[in-house]
Structure 1
Amino acid sequence: MLKKLLLIFSFFVFTKTAYAQAFTYYPFNSVFSIATNPNKAIWVDFRFQTNTYFSSLSTEISPMFNVNKAERVKFYVGAGIKANFLNYLNTDPSKQSALEGYSLNVGMRAAPIEKIPRFQIVFELSPYANKNFDLGLFRANLGLAYVLGKKNQ
């Protein structure tokens, strides 16, 4: 319970200090994302599965780094961890680890409509490996995003 409260508190601290947040939905992967300000050089992305059973609710936390300073297209790289805190409820002690896997993220956020710069299209390639590194996926994400706050925050 304490770990869950710490996670929620950390989430609110990140979003409060960011001064802008981005909401992204990846419809082909059924993933919803809340990120700190993606216009900053360093930002954090929190991803939630939306088409899953409650017992397998996975969350990804990924720090990202923008590699360019362009206004309308930002390229970024990052790494993340995938966790499922509901694994602690499993009766098998060998399966009570919250950690599920690791990912590398390479992507871009583009604002295609000049008059609406906060609306963005996001494309990302993300190799993923489970925590034992014996199973992996090569994921491709395509989504729509909206960044709250001012245009150049």
Structure 2
Amino acid sequence: MKKAFLLLSIVIGLSETSKAQSVAYYPFSSILSVSTNPELRVWGDLRFQTNSFFSSLSTEIAPAINLNNNDKGRFYLGGGARLNYLATLQDNDILEGFFFNAGVRSAPFDKYPQVQIAFELSPYVASDFESGLLRTRLGVAYNFSRKSK
């Protein structure tokens, strides 16, 4: 529980220092992502599962670090925790698991630099370390901090 609050505090701190934000949607995974400014060296991401029962609504807290500073594509690494706040209603643990992210956000359209293609590899392990999977995500992001030419 303390780890979840620590991660949440980090993401809130990042969002306070960042004036711009970004949203992304990963349609094959049905994930909606809201993040602090992904142009910064360190940024945070909150991800929400959009196609699940209310009893299994999961939220991921995912801080990330950009590895390069290229306007056409930024590679990043990060990690975090997957939480289910509604699990406490059934006396289950709020922490579902942990993950590591390796991804890229590419801005291939010169005329619309705010529109980005997002791709991610994300190994995931359940909180009991009994099971896991390799997740891949492909989506579209819109970065409000970028200006069109």
Give the superposition deviation at 1:10. 7.8
Unaligned 5+ segments in structure 1 are 1-6
Unaligned 5+ segments in structure 2 are 1-6
In structure 2, what is the equivalent of residue 45 of structure 1? 45
Cα separation, 2, equivalents of 1:79 and 1:15: 17
Cα separation, 2, equivalents of 1:59 and 1:51: 12
**1:122 is matched by which residue type in structure 2?**
A
Identical positions, percent = 46
Give TM-score scaled by structure 2 length: 0.88
Cα separation, 2, equivalents of 1:76 and 1:40: 11
Contact 2:113 2:146 in 1 (8 A): no
Instruction: Pick from 109, 116, 137 the counterpart of residue 112 of structure 2.
Output: 116
Q: CA distance change for structure 1 residues 58 and 43 in 2, over 3 Å: closer, same or farther?
A: same
In structure 2, what is the equivalent of residue 127 of structure 1? 123
Cα separation, 2, equivalents of 1:48 and 1:22: 14
Could you say what the CA RMSD is over the residues aligned between the two structures, in angstroms?
1.9
Q: Secondary structure at the match of 1:104?
A: strand
Give the superposition deviation at 1:56. 0.7
Q: Secondary structure at the match of 2:64?
A: strand
Q: Deviations over 1:8-61 (max 9, x none)?
A: 998666434311111000000000000100000000010000000111110000
Cα separation, 2, equivalents of 1:121 and 1:50: 19
